[in-house]
Amino acid sequence: MKRPNPQRVLLDTNVLLDHLLQRDGRAQQAKRALEACTNHDVELMCASTSLKDIAYIAEAMVRRQFKQGESALENETLHMLVRHVPWRCVEQARALCDIASIDQQTCDDALALRPRHDDFEDNLIIAAARQSGADCVITSDAKLIEHFPEYCVSPSHIVQSFTANDESDDL
């Protein structure tokens, strides 16, 4: 029996970063997963904490790639990129996803997950997804998938799932 396609998914921060920053050779997988979800009218969500992580990591990436230069033009360019790239990434994530809020209950739920997965930030993602009614979390985090196999899937897995379901619908 085939598993039904999800109607609502929460994107882990790493998948959003892969897509927005075109990083780590995972950008193509993230793009295919997002396209598959969009093509199947799946509601995309992200945790509110992902937005601050995206801003922080986008700025750090710009600073790493474009170091202070010797000229005023190089330094002004770096300053402009640091001011604009993080905000643009957050705006793009916000346009792509509805936001799952993190509140006291979410934090309590994340703390309760510690025996199963000893990473508070990841547990916040799981708790926010559950609290918001997401059918699954799309993540590139192998440990998160290992510890929550019934709930977490990789970007490539979600694409394969949609493809398999589409093919069986054609029969």
Tell me how far CA of residue 8 lies from CA of 28, 129, 166, in angstroms: 21, 9, 18
Q: Are 4 and 128 in contact (CB under 8 A)?
A: no
Tokens of 153: 């899937």
**Calpha distance 64→58 (Å, rounded):** 10
Task: Write the pLDDT tens digit of every residue in 90-109.
Answer: 999 999 999 999 999 999 99
Task: Write the pLDDT tens digit of every residue in 102-152.
Answer: 999 999 999 999 999 999 999 999 999 999 999 999 999 999 999 999 999
- The number of domains in the chain is 1
Residue 103 is inside which H or E element, if any?
A: none
Q: Is residue 35 part of a domain?
A: yes
Q: Is residue 88 part of a domain?
A: yes
Q: Is residue 3 part of a domain?
A: no
Of the candidates 47, 37, 41, 167, which has an alpha carbon nearest to the alpha carbon of residue 98? 47
Which domain range does residue 88 map to? 8-170
Q: Is residue 15 part of a domain?
A: yes
Q: pTM for this structure? A: 0.90
